[in-house]
Structure 1
């Protein structure tokens, strides 16, 4: 068979694309690039010509451009004008001429423990190949790859997994995404680059002994970092965690690199990295840790001089209100979380918000993504008002907002003012902060927290809380009490996981204890230190409280309306879940299942199964696809100009649960910092 070279570059000599040649490992290495740490090669099977094209990765970044311009002779401008229709013809048409895929190179072990390379074939995530077409694709490629190289097919989405279920693995050997990447040695979590001193801790005890001495120039490495880790230069984990863990949310909000490096202990021992100065870089496709021979001259990071100013809170008397009576503007009286939940009630009840703005933005060469959204809704060429109305109905039919009440800042103020001892404790803490006497902050904070937890709640405050419910709290069953401060979810200051919530509360006595615990978390040593570092004054910091009825959950978790590991990806939503309530996902007590859902073309795929051996049923995954689309639609409102935002591309962090009846409830909505 004769190899043919094609090029769409100005100089054909720079393009090594091969047509019709069998693939050997040396040829693969010649043509391949690197993606997610693995060499990969784009392939195009032309069924009409019974041949395939092995694309030079450096010359051809996109399958579609190559097929259109080099095979079909189209002008690039013509392709751009009809890009979505052309994509549908090569990714979704059952009778398509071209089959587009990627071969990636991996290494495994044979029966004798020796390393052995193997290839993995997959399509794009939006491809809707049938089982029959997938089998043809695999057999075509397998017949043209060096027989010494094993080839496995990796389904690109849940639909392909279901299509392949009826086909024998002897005919189409396969590997699932979570099987391929679940044991990956190195995984980027949050991109960034920093120079600092590596501090490696093998155990929590080692970390605890050194925690007080950690500073802004340290890169902290250990199996799993605790949620209360201080603000440092970077994170490294040696055990598996999720991109939606509290520590990675902190890394994202702080703009510091974070990654999983499971062989870090060997690297530390081999290169003597513990305590060494290193240059640490996390990118989408690589993680590097370079030892420096000399101690660098470092400047304190920008956040160390940063000063965040809060809008003055409104402390005039305000009633305890049902969540559905709040709007976003009430954040200055009830806190951000409570105001966001009130706004969610308004969006669901009124159905007047524009939830399509994200899809209305230009995505060059596309003018917008309205057509994709219409397809998801089963609409044919709707007007923009029709699409907006359908989006509002879809969201209202998919999720509900939690019932509950919100306690205003004024109630906390009345409580604090009721006790001279509390006022004295607050005065001492303010004085220490003004003098920057950080060495006495922790004991002062702990003493003040103890006072808050044990100071009696004034009768007037107790009465306002009790009267907010239709029946006495003792008759309400289990309650959940959550924090809602004005000093969180700010640009440059996330505060994820910093303030307390109490998820098991029964009766009036426990309710008052839980409210005081939430109030006390505002002056925890960690929260005070973090706010002090960015110049947030204690005088401007207040805590509202959300009280909700507990809703039993069959499934719960967190989703963010982006792919945290690939910032430029506008298609996907990342979702974590585990059986039961979302709290165990949020607090990191379990390793959740992880999914990516494409909210443009549709489809989803399993990233990891976490602590559970089996994935979710197909029907449940389909429901999660609807939930993911709902999250992206809500992003249009909560990040858009109607909500005081300026960029509908800014993602949301949504905590959710599925009730035992199969309904979704959103229990928290906040910005997700990128």
Structure 2
């Protein structure tokens, strides 16, 4: 995902308890699938299962009290606040819509009950599939649960179940007549919501249940460090690798730290979480985090974030730093001097133009149906290397690096690097370069507005995503503005967050090379990020996660406001709504250059950003791109134009966590007062 911002005003987009008791604090939560309000499945069971033996009966036709339900129900993650007791049900339409409440401790799947249970039916795969798709099916299959977060009884069907209004009414009436408490339909797909509305059946959506959660693990991990509570508006630029940040809001940028907890919801594709995955640090959302953890401010703790919750426990005072093995960056090819049109780039060209530009060239060359990649050209690594090795540039860099306390105070580094970037941008460029760039812009791109984007050799590395570390300048429209935009991208090598991330990752400054992709600007109607897997549950095969907002997608990955989030299941075609966007404005291209913000009218705020057909089309595009890159899961930045054309703006390998290693060392600088 590229970082996009105006040079002057918009931030660079980033793909970034009572202490007296001194006791262990823990909050337990359900596995990732339950965190998304999905019933734990026997296919993907996780957590502790109820140790009690199964009840003697195989099923009941009536549930008259809670005790009857408990004797048949299966429970995972016992004793946690979000424990979800549930049992399977089926309704036999050939026998008067007779309900069966199944002993789910004994029969984990409907198929097991139908074939091995008292009915002893001989059902093949096709017959079972028909029970989810045919309107004249014999059985209605589903699950009945107690939703602890909302204190409601719900019944639900598989998200791919092609329910119609008649089937849903039959299920609601049959179950309610045989159950002791009021039941609410839980809609697991947007199609289910439409059917429930048409049938007049009261329902609760996944999005509504997720909204009631108090905890969500965005990245699992263990950290030992010093807690630093940062209220709204607080500065995080001077955080160091020893800090565990407790934040009132998701920051736009983040230097390397030991762990992160935020009190406002974010998404798994925010730059902060992608960086957390790359660094291998724990990251979680915890409602009321500041008030619950304020007693730990400046204390040394061990933080554990798991699929089932988090714990934070005081440890003896000490200073810990993250110990990384020095990384070797891909060696840049500085022999390639000429500009390269995007249409001539392939994955192998990352050696002189960077992975971002090279991957886009590969996608463009593949001619994936219904996919557009905006045209552009690459300014190769060689030009950056020549610029940065000039005597005047080297003098400025060395002056910054020898600033007193530069190496032991992050605040000093931040100020010195800010000054250095301004100085580098002010340096002149050879007239021949300017003429070459402007001529290519006019001849190849017609002189239209362009995004000037970073494409470095220090991104998309194993265990080091680099998401959002470098700058992109949006919608450059004047030829005389192009040189400054290119120098702004080059100077972003010295962005504080990029410098700190490479410092923590033991990446040498001298090894970094920066390419620049000059690419036609797209005034997106909708935009976002797609991950070609379920980021919450790796066992959920064939799923795609999509985050979307209206307008240009800078805000999607900033993570400061919740995007619309959906999950698309390739096997069933079901589209599950996980959250609705809370944005009241959108970004669009400004005719004078850069981007501008405009309000979204209330009527559009109430509408979904993506309809189901659009979500499925995006998921198919994501699958094709993943196949193009040899089956490796991808993190894809996408947009759609007014005519519903899908535009791919970036594809990078989905970041995977690398375990963080901790080592005790002498203090690197005095603790803050």
Query: Is this a same-fold pair by TM over 0.5?
Result: yes
- Are the counterparts in 2 of residues 253 and 673 from structure 1 also a CA contact under 8 Å? yes
Query: Structure 2: how far apart are the matches of 1:282 and 1:129?
Result: 38
1:209-608 maps to which residues of 2 (within 5 A)? 212-216=238-242, 218-268=243-293, 272-284=295-307, 286-292=308-314, 294-295=315-316, 300-301=321-322, 304-348=323-367, 396-417=368-389, 419-427=390-398, 441-471=413-443, 476-588=447-559, 590-608=561-579
Q: Could you tell me the TM-score, scaled by structure 1's length? A: 0.79
- Are the counterparts in 2 of residues 276 and 291 from structure 1 also a CA contact under 8 Å? no
Which protein has greater RCO, CA pairs closer than 8 Å, 6+ apart?
Answer: 2
CA RMSD of superposed structures (Å): 3.0
Find 1:62's aligned residue among 102, 109, 112. 109
Q: 1:668 maps to which residue?
A: 650
Query: Structure 1: how far apart are the matches of 2:403 and 2:290?
Result: 40
- Are the counterparts in 1 of residues 83 and 148 from structure 2 also a CA contact under 8 Å? no
Query: Structure 2: how far apart are the matches of 1:231 and 1:59?
Result: 48
Change (3 A) 1:197 1:289: farther
- Are the counterparts in 2 of residues 321 and 468 from structure 1 also a CA contact under 8 Å? no
Q: 2:133 maps to which residue?
A: 92
Once the two structures are TM-superposed, the CA of residue 624 in structure 1 deviates from its matched residue by 2.1
Partner secondary structure for residue 204 of structure 1? coil
- Are the counterparts in 2 of residues 552 and 581 from structure 1 also a CA contact under 8 Å? yes
Query: Structure 1: how far apart are the matches of 2:319 and 2:607?
Result: 47
User: Structure 2: which 5+ residue stretches go unaligned?
Assistant: 1-48, 584-604, 657-673
Partner secondary structure for residue 392 of structure 2? helix
Superimposed CA distance per residue, residues 580-625 of structure 1 (whole angstroms, 9 cap, x where no aligned partner): 111221234543211111122212021111215423288x430221
- Are the counterparts in 1 of residues 227 and 245 from structure 2 also a CA contact under 8 Å? yes
Change (3 A) 1:669 1:25: same
- Are the counterparts in 1 of residues 90 and 100 from structure 2 also a CA contact under 8 Å? yes
- Are the counterparts in 2 of residues 518 and 545 from structure 1 also a CA contact under 8 Å? yes
Once the two structures are TM-superposed, the CA of residue 229 in structure 1 deviates from its matched residue by 1.6
- Are the counterparts in 2 of residues 407 and 544 from structure 1 also a CA contact under 8 Å? yes
Are positions 1:45 and 2:90 aligned together? yes
Query: Structure 2: how far apart are the matches of 1:546 and 1:164?
Result: 48
Q: 1:368 maps to which residue?
A: none
- Are the counterparts in 2 of residues 121 and 152 from structure 1 also a CA contact under 8 Å? yes
Once the two structures are TM-superposed, the CA of residue 40 in structure 1 deviates from its matched residue by 3.1
- Are the counterparts in 2 of residues 345 and 401 from structure 1 also a CA contact under 8 Å? yes
- Are the counterparts in 2 of residues 156 and 605 from structure 1 also a CA contact under 8 Å? yes
- Are the counterparts in 2 of residues 44 and 98 from structure 1 also a CA contact under 8 Å? no
Partner secondary structure for residue 548 of structure 2? strand
Once the two structures are TM-superposed, the CA of residue 296 in structure 1 deviates from its matched residue by 7.7
- Are the counterparts in 1 of residues 529 and 638 from structure 2 also a CA contact under 8 Å? yes
User: Structure 1: which 5+ residue stretches go unaligned?
Assistant: 1-8, 109-115, 349-395, 641-647
- Are the counterparts in 2 of residues 94 and 129 from structure 1 also a CA contact under 8 Å? yes
- Are the counterparts in 2 of residues 476 and 549 from structure 1 also a CA contact under 8 Å? no
Superimposed CA distance per residue, residues 187-229 of structure 1 (whole angstroms, 9 cap, x where no aligned partner): 2322334444433222222x44xx535433x321112231322
Aligned length: 577
Query: Structure 2: how far apart are the matches of 1:290 and 1:53?
Result: 44
Find 1:621's aligned residue among 599, 612, 625. 612
- Are the counterparts in 2 of residues 466 and 472 from structure 1 also a CA contact under 8 Å? no
Query: Structure 2: how far apart are the matches of 1:300 and 1:67?
Result: 57
Once the two structures are TM-superposed, the CA of residue 401 in structure 1 deviates from its matched residue by 1.1
Q: 1:139 maps to which residue?
A: 173
Query: Structure 2: how far apart are the matches of 1:655 and 1:176?
Result: 27
Tell me whether 593-602 or 435-444 shows the greater mean CA deviation: 435-444
- Are the counterparts in 1 of residues 490 and 514 from structure 2 also a CA contact under 8 Å? yes
Are positions 1:117 and 2:151 aligned together? yes
